[in-house]
Copies of this chain bind each other. A is one copy, B any other.
Amino acid sequence: MDRLRLVKIGGTLLEREDGLGAFLDAFAGLRGRRILVHGGGAQASRIGRKLGVEPVMKEGRRITDPATLDVVTMVYAGLNAKRIVAALQARGCNAVSLSGPDGNLLSARRRPVGEIDFGFVGDVERNGVNAELLAALLNEGLVPVLNAITHDRSGTLLNTNADTIAATVAGAMSDLFDVELTFVLDRPGVLADPGRDESVLPYLTPSQVDNLKQSGAIGGGMIPKIDNAVTALSNGVAAVRICGAEGLGDPNSGTKILNDR
């Protein structure tokens, strides 16, 4: 099977002009089939506040009322998506940004109301990914740039976690390609000591991840990323890695997620 690289860029990198530029240089410099997934939560919170829409987070997810849905649709699918695509085009990379409703690329299910009502939050599954359309675009030489806005196929937009989208799309594309999934952060990988960039863990297996979570060595925003990385591996993705922007082109940079032996 042909190789496909799927790269997820973290929101903190999107916030820093210099960090974003370095990432886009590295991404545009890659060769062959590739897909970029981006979020933009920090910008959405900032622009939302200006519009009088205060962000409310629960369990790491944004409670998405109708006004918040408008904000994230504007920021993810509008501002961030088109800025990234214009910047990639200027670097000779034939990018095309698409959200879930475009060509029914990503359909999601609205999360049922349990103890928390997340509002217009969607969950994606493998069968909600239009892998055929993505493959057709890749075969045309296009570089799809995906964001966190999906739809329910009944006319409603949904706000979906971009890390989960990356892991789910990577899994679905594994039927057609040898997929390498890379989460790019503003640090060089998973760190044994969060204060020292030199302490990158070169490998992690699911059981090691469990141990590190229990010991508290990894926590906060890193946990959903690592969980998605482990899920992707179990979904048939050939290789999963967490690294910094400068390590994107070097397959040995950062932290590889490997199966337990």
Chain A residues at the B interface, C-beta cutoff of 8 Å = 47, 50-52, 70, 73-79, 81-83, 85-87, 89-90, 94-99, 101-104, 133, 136, 140, 142, 149, 151, 153-157
Is B77 a contact of A81 with CB atoms below 8 Å?
yes
A89 CB contact (under 8 Å) in B50, B85, B98, B101: B101
Chain B residues, Cβ within 8 Å of A104: 89, 94
Chain B residues, Cβ within 8 Å of A76: 78
Chain B residues, Cβ within 8 Å of A51: 47, 50-51
A90 CB contact (under 8 Å) in B75, B86, B153: B153
- At the interface, is chain A mostly helix, strand, loop or mixed? helix
- Smallest CB gap from A80: residue in B: B78
Chain B residues, Cβ within 8 Å of A78: 73-79, 81
22 of the cross-chain contacts (CB-CB < 8 Å) are: A47-B51, A47-B74, A70-B79, A73-B78, A74-B79, A77-B78, A77-B82, A78-B78, A82-B101, A82-B102, A82-B149, A86-B101, A87-B155, A89-B151, A89-B155, A90-B153, A90-B154, A96-B98, A96-B103, A97-B101, A97-B102, A98-B102
Is B52 a contact of A86 with CB atoms below 8 Å?
no
Is A101 a contact of B85 with CB atoms below 8 Å?
yes
- Smallest CB gap from A103: residue in B: B96
CA distance A151 to B85 in the complex (A): 10
- Smallest CB gap from A88: residue in B: B101
CA distance A35 to B87 in the complex (A): 26
Chain B residues, Cβ within 8 Å of A99: 82, 85, 97
- A163: shortest Cβ distance to chain B, in Å? 21
Is A86 a contact of B50 with CB atoms below 8 Å?
no
Chain B residues, Cβ within 8 Å of A79: 70, 73-74, 78
CA distance A107 to B75 in the complex (A): 22
